[in-house]
Chains A and B, each alone.
Chain A
Amino acid sequence: MRHIISILIENEAGALSRVSGLFSARAFNIESLTVAPTEDASLSRMTIVSTGSDDVIEQITKQLNKLIDVVKVVDLSEAAHIERELMLVKVRAAGKDREEMKRIADIFRGRIIDVTDSTYVIELTGNGSKLDAFLEAIDRSLILETVRTGVSGIGRGDRILKV
């Protein structure tokens, strides 16, 4: 089962390696990991996507809680939540492909944020499958590079992860 785990952690040097080290040391799997400071600069928020049986996910949350710098851990996927990922795709956009690329980007509600006479950079946000679908929809041979941020997640409604 895929789980999205959100963590509030003291924003100190080495915080990320404590978390990533824990995952590798205990053979837990990480699909993606994102981290950045929160509105309170003393805290960082991480979103980790992992897969595993219920027992494994239980161990992951317990082990994360055990890290001294970790303030809070929540399994977002236990209840209603929203997840988003940002992708930047650089594509070849010349000749007949130029108009088609713009059209598909519009369909996916992507934005073209850099233009040259032969390339576009398209910005796209959504959940992972939407981003995958976009890549499927365009001609593979036109993709020059892609970069994805990994998933960020937040609970719906009154579910709040805060100190």
Chain B
Amino acid sequence: MQLTGAEIVIRCLQEEKVEYVFGYPGGSVLFIYDELFKQDKFKHVLVRHEQAAVHAADAYSRSSNKIGVCLVTSGPGVTNAVTGIATAHMDSVPMVIISGQVPTAYIGQDAFQECDTVGITRPCVKHNFLVKDVRDLAITLKKAFYIAKTGRPGPVLVDIPKDITNQKCEFDYPKTIAMRSYNPVVKGHSGQIKKAVQMLLEAKRPMIYAGGGVILSDAAEKLAKLARRLGYPVTNTLMGLGGYPATDKQSLGMLGMHGTYEANMAMQNCDVLIAVGARFDDRVIGNPAHFAEISRKIIHIDVDPSSISKRVKVDVPIVGNLPDVLDELQKLLEASAGVPDPKALAAWWKQIDEWRGKKSLKYKQGKEIIMPQYVVEKLYEVTGGDAFITSDVGQHQMWAAQYYKFDKPRRWINSGGLGTMGVGLPYAMGVRFANPKATVACITGEGSIQMNIQELSTAKQFRLPIKIINLNNRYLGMVRQWQQMFHGNRYSESYVDALPDFVKLAEAYGHVGMKIERPADVEPALREAFTKHKNDLVFMDFLTDQTANVYPMVAAGKGLSEMILAEEL
């Protein structure tokens, strides 16, 4: 049957079982929107800014392992989307972005709403395509979905000129696809896995360091099985939170720049480290030279060969899909019937418990001023630790990561790699679309929330009962913290003046607003929001301590064990 390009786009999305397309119409995508109007197999979510469309689709992916899809027009539609695409790319989130382009004959003519989309997005996508012939459209979309979700996942963009969407050709959606230039590795090298098992069993001071790859590849259960079999301590990166239950006794919490004392000390002092879907980035291991000062054996499992030995030299590299590699590892471990040295392990745990004794996350909640950490702890209690939490970027993000104990994967949605302020609200929207019954809270700050606040309108249109936890300290808190610590208390442009009345703002959009100023009101307000206003979007504006800092802290360029702790100040 002959279909137009626009009809083909719609049919491809249906074939891929897409449930939602997040987008914003415009001139170059009018034919596609026209076909979208005529169908009811998937729904379209109209955002208020293209950046939010991408973030929402991104969170839809992150919270479900389905592929988020967005649709934007040419020119400014795409340039607005770039921040969202780069955010997803840095955190390896599978997504497909469809962008309109000016008609083929106009390309390169500086046409209205023209930009070099493939050129602009090239460095921040896993791959992109410009479709120049309607006969290539279906196979290109098939490739886009295939590339997005296989190997190390990532966003894939398909740029479609307007004339292509109005030309006809025979439609045939390929069932499978093979590309000679793209064959992601699945199975790990069994010789390497054997070596890893041996090394793990011989460890005296072992450490499991688990990253976002565990979440992305749905390997959390397999990781837990391995960790429990060995009885070794586990730390999660910011992106890996929920990849191992935070409330488990083997969990040392998050590591890195704002990691716990015990996680960072164990990371630095272990003799065998197994990195699982993690990439030793600068916010995690601090200064690589300092990290390398203490020698330890490192096993590194990752699906992306270029992540291995990029910042830290490893001894046993294993390239492969995590669940497959972990299965194989477990199998060899059981077959070997070996057990870790119980004496050494007991001594190691004793040492770790001593580090834990520092209680590096302690803080004091007085009677007058609300501490931001307290709000997160109360949120954890009120939601029974079972909510989906999105965050923006800054101090509140770190407090959310430190004080909300994530026991399940895909519950913690934040921009770790790119660190994009403004993701929190659109992320919460995407989470709720992927998990229609879930409790969703967005922990944010008065700086970040204003970077995509227009989405309160989308949330109203789709009746998304998100709870916005605004930790309002009237400062760009993380900037202020660095200025205090490293720039002689000169708070250059970090004070947020002329803030709106968030309660009225929420009400103006048709939502419920609450302002909470006293510690005693924190818990009752949260309870009210999550019970009485269960089905409403509630904007909770918490006025918090203006001087609170995130601790522990490893300053940029310092070593992991060179932590600044709260009590030392």
Q: Could you list which residues of chain A lie within 8 angstroms of chain B, going by C-beta atoms?
A: 9-10, 13-14, 17-18, 21, 25, 55, 58-59, 62-63, 65-66, 68-71, 163
Contact = CB atoms under 8 A, between A and B. Distances in A.
B97 to A, nearest CB: 15
A17 B119 contact: yes
Contacts of B179: 68
B122 A66 contact: no
A74 B118 CA distance: 27
A68 B309 contact: no
Contacts of B305: 62, 65-66
Contacts of A13: 130, 132
B492 interface: no
A163 B181 CA distance: 9
Nearest to B118: A14
A68 B126 contact: yes
16 contacts: A13-B132, A14-B118, A14-B130, A17-B119, A58-B309, A59-B306, A62-B305, A62-B306, A65-B305, A66-B305, A68-B127, A68-B179, A68-B182, A69-B127, A70-B181, A71-B180
The 5 closest A-B pairs by CB, nearest first: A62-B306, A68-B127, A71-B181, A62-B305, A68-B182
A25 B125 CA distance: 13
A14 B132 CA distance: 13
B304 A66 contact: yes
A66 B119 CA distance: 18
B304 A55 contact: no
A59 B182 CA distance: 18
Interface of B: 118-119, 122-123, 126-127, 130, 132, 147, 179-182, 304-306, 309-310
B123 A21 contact: yes
Given A21-B122, A25-B123, A68-B126, A10 B304 contact: no
Contacts of A58: 309
B180 A66 contact: no
B181 A10 contact: yes
A158 B130 CA distance: 38
A59 B123 contact: no
A101 to B, nearest CB: 44
A40 B263 CA distance: 54
A55 B309 contact: yes
B143 to A, nearest CB: 9
B310 A59 contact: yes
SS class, residues of chain A in contact with chain B: helix
A7 to B, nearest CB: 11
A133 to B, nearest CB: 38
B370 to A, nearest CB: 43
Contacts of A17: 119, 122
Contacts of A21: 122-123
Given A14-B118, A17-B119, A17-B122, 15 more contacts: A13-B132, A14-B119, A18-B122, A55-B309, A59-B306, A62-B305, A65-B305, A66-B304, A68-B126, A68-B127, A68-B147, A68-B182, A69-B127, A69-B181, A163-B180
A13 B32 CA distance: 25
Contacts of A66: 304-306
A65 B308 CA distance: 14
A52 B205 CA distance: 35
Nearest to A71: B181
A41 B557 CA distance: 49
Nearest to B127: A68
Contacts of B127: 68-69
B130 to A, nearest CB: 7
Contacts of A25: 123
B276 to A, nearest CB: 19
Contacts of B132: 13
A63 B118 CA distance: 19
A5 to B, nearest CB: 15
A14 B328 CA distance: 40
Q: Name the residue in B118, B119, B306 with the highest tally of chain A Cβ atoms < 10 Å from its Cβ.
A: B306
A58 B306 CA distance: 9
B92 to A, nearest CB: 12
A163 B179 CA distance: 12
A25 B122 CA distance: 11
Contacts of A65: 305-306
A63 B123 CA distance: 12
Contacts of B118: 14
Given A14-B118, A68-B147, A63 B180 contact: no
A61 to B, nearest CB: 9
A15 to B, nearest CB: 10
Nearest to B305: A62
A149 B270 CA distance: 52
Contacts of B180: 71, 163
Nearest to A24: B123
A21 B124 CA distance: 11
A3 to B, nearest CB: 17
Q: Name the residue in B126, B182, B309 with the highest tally of chain A Cβ atoms < 10 Å from its Cβ.
A: B182
B89 to A, nearest CB: 12
A37 to B, nearest CB: 15
Contacts of B119: 14, 17
A154 B209 CA distance: 43
Contacts of B181: 9-10, 68-71
A69 B181 CA distance: 6
Nearest to B152: A66
A71 B122 CA distance: 18
A66 B127 CA distance: 10
B538 to A, nearest CB: 42
